[in-house]
A and B are shown apart, each in its own frame.
Chain A
Amino acid sequence: MKADNMIELTDIVQRFGDKEVLKGITLQIKAGEIFGLLGPSGAGKTTLIKIVTGQLRPTKGSALTNGTPAVEMTGAMYRRIGMMMDIPGLYGRLNCYDNLKLYARLYDIPEKRIYEVLEKVGLSDARRCPVEKLSKGMKGRLALARAVMNEPTLLFLDEPTSGLDPAATRRIHELILEEQAKGTTVFLTTHNMTEAEKLCRHIALLYDGNVVEYGEPKEICRRYDHKRKLKIRLYDGRCLELGNDKDAAEAVGEYLKQELLETIHSTEPNLETVFMELTGKELV
């Protein structure tokens, strides 16, 4: 395992009965980066996160988390990991403070840290409010507060903004970036391409149990640049869609000379279109 890799997955295969959910995943995630695992529902994202966190033993292959086989992780190692899973796992009848107090006791964290993280996620005023009365966005922020309370070196976030309104999503994005700025490695699963482009340094597109693309979001989009189109609108009312080639460039030049060109837009591929090209399906 390379020293700068926080997570290293080699040929991970996971079967549930006859169904092969993961079909030989190989990935490296560097320390200190935000890594995004993207894929539609049922692609195997949560299964992979369970393998990396040692909750599930893979049928085949090896998963190393911080140099240790994930299934052999001990309690002390879990203390350096923060987790926000798809289901927040909060005690509904207890208030925000009591939920965090439980984990503060388990991790032997001083009480002032509870107030710090509540302040950070903007839940200070709601600290005495029972969790069952919080909105979905507030529950998400509380789950994130719990995940970062022990100042983890590795943070797993499974669909952290799924179903949240834009304001709550933006707040969670800010918190994730704050954690990364402190040197925390973030493993993020999402089916939101915009989120991945905004936050992640590297992403992997997971589809039907395979990694169909891996790299930096911009670099991946560049790879599929042949899909770029030029949309132009002429003063005579015509709207044209031109390809990304020499002929199109000449045509644009001609329209410019004739002073016919009213607007021109370049439609570069984004992760959404890349995914559609790779799989023929939308990312939902």
Chain B
Amino acid sequence: MVMKMRNIKAVFLKQVKDIFKNKTILVQFVMFPMLVIIMENVVAMEGMPEHFFVRMFSFMYIGMAPLISMAAILAEEKEECTLKMLLMSDVKPAEYLLGTGSCVLSACMAGACVFGIVGEYEGKAFFSFLLIMAAGAAASLLVGAAIGTWSRNQMMATSLGVPVMLVFAFLPMLSMFNETIARIAKITYSEQISVLIGGLGQSGAGAENVIIILLNIAAAFGCFVLAYRRCGLG
């Protein structure tokens, strides 16, 4: 299958414009970076770890924003038949997904940069932070793409997406307070993202962390393929 860069670029540019005009999606990318700036500057308690809010909100952001955005965008395009028109205009499903996915990823990474700056990561640590966030965003994107593909409309995407998002976004936080949850959370990419960000500058990424994230990405991709085969994009 030969993909056309022109088509990917056209979809990407369309999506950029649309994200800026879609407040529901835009708020996903703005809310947590704004929140982290405010919390880091306003809340200071004795004994609180340094940049506590950066660590906590970063995995929440990664578990929420790309997942919900991708699912909502796909479901809306299916519901409004805009995706069908694109596919009938010589755009291949892979080109569409790459165009949209890269736009969501870019928006997500812009937010991740804010986290990195507020967290005062510098040099290599800053790039490591972005790399960890990108890996998490990729997994969330694929889960979102699977949900969006599976859904017939936006309502269905929200009904399916919110519980999944809550699991990935809140499990790492809940695992801080409960060992049983911690054991379960260990197999999720968001928990591994949390662990890796927590350990930045102290220890490198262990093979276990990387393998779990890669397995999560593979599983998310599998879910997407399954949803695509069953429901298609048109």
Q: Do A and B bind each other?
A: yes
A residues whose Cβ falls under 8 Å from a Cβ of B: 53, 55, 75-76, 78-79, 81, 83, 85, 87-94, 98, 102-103, 105-108, 130, 146
A89-B82, A91-B14, A102-B14 known; A76-B90 Cβ under 8 A: yes
User: Which of B80, B82, B88 sits near A55, CB closer than 8 Å?
Assistant: B88
List 4 additional contacts besides A55-B234, A92-B80; criterion CB under 8 Å: A78-B90, A87-B81, A89-B85, A91-B18
Q: Which of B9-50 contact A (CB under 8 A)?
A: 9-11, 13-14, 17-18, 21-22
Q: Is the CB of B17 within 8 A of A106?
A: no
Q: Within the assembled complex, what's the spacing in Å between the Cα atoms of A234 and B199? A: 103
Chain B residues whose C-beta falls within 8 Å of the C-beta of A92 in the assembled complex: 80
Q: Is the CB of B21 within 8 A of A106?
A: no
B89 within 8 A of A: yes
Please tell me if B229 contacts chain A, counting CB pairs below 8 Å. Answer: no
| Residue picked from A89, A94, A130, most chain B C-beta under 10 Å | A89
Q: Known: A87-B81, A106-B6. Is A94-B13 also a contact (CB below 8 A)?
A: no
- Bound CA–CA A75/B11 (angstroms): 16
* B80 and A105 form a contact (CB under 8 A): no
Asked if A93 meets B6 with Cβ closer than 8 Å, knowing A87-B81, A102-B14, A103-B89, the reply is no
Q: Is the CB of A94 within 8 A of B89?
A: no
A2 to chain B, nearest CB (A): 26
Contact, CB under 8 Å: B13 / A106 = no
Chain B: interface residue total (CB-CB under 8 A): 23
Q: How close is B194's CB to chain A, nearest CB, in angstroms?
A: 34
Q: Provide a sorted-by-A list of 26 A–B residue pairs whose CB atoms are within 8 angstroms.
A: A53-B88, A55-B234, A75-B92, A81-B88, A83-B85, A83-B88, A89-B82, A89-B84, A90-B82, A91-B14, A91-B82, A94-B14, A94-B18, A94-B21, A98-B14, A102-B13, A103-B89, A105-B6, A105-B9, A105-B10, A106-B6, A106-B7, A106-B86, A106-B89, A106-B91, A146-B85
Q: Collect the chain B residues with CB atoms within 8 Å of residue A98's CB.
A: 14, 17
- Centre residue among A53, A75, A94, A130 by max chain B CB count within 10 A: A75
Contact, CB under 8 Å: A87 / B18 = no
- A105 nearest in chain B by CB position: B10
Q: Are A107 and B18 in contact (CB under 8 A)?
A: no
Q: Is the beta-carbon distance between A105 and B17 smaller than 8 angstroms? A: no
The residue from B9, B18, B81, B92 contacting A89, defined by CB atoms under 8 A apart: B81
Interchain CA distance A102-B91 in the complex, whole Å: 11
A87 touches B6 (CB 8 A): no
CA distance A98 to B20 in the complex (A): 13
- Neighbouring B residues of A102 by C-beta, 8 Å: 10-11, 13-14
Q: Which 6 A-B pairs have the closest CB atoms?
A: A75-B90, A105-B10, A89-B85, A89-B81, A93-B21, A87-B81
Asked if B89 and A85 sit within 8 Å, CB to CB, the answer is no
Q: Taking the nearest CB of chain B, how far is it from the CB of A148, in angstroms?
A: 13
In the complex, chain B residues 80-131 whose Cβ is within 8 Å of any chain A Cβ: 80-82, 84-86, 88-92
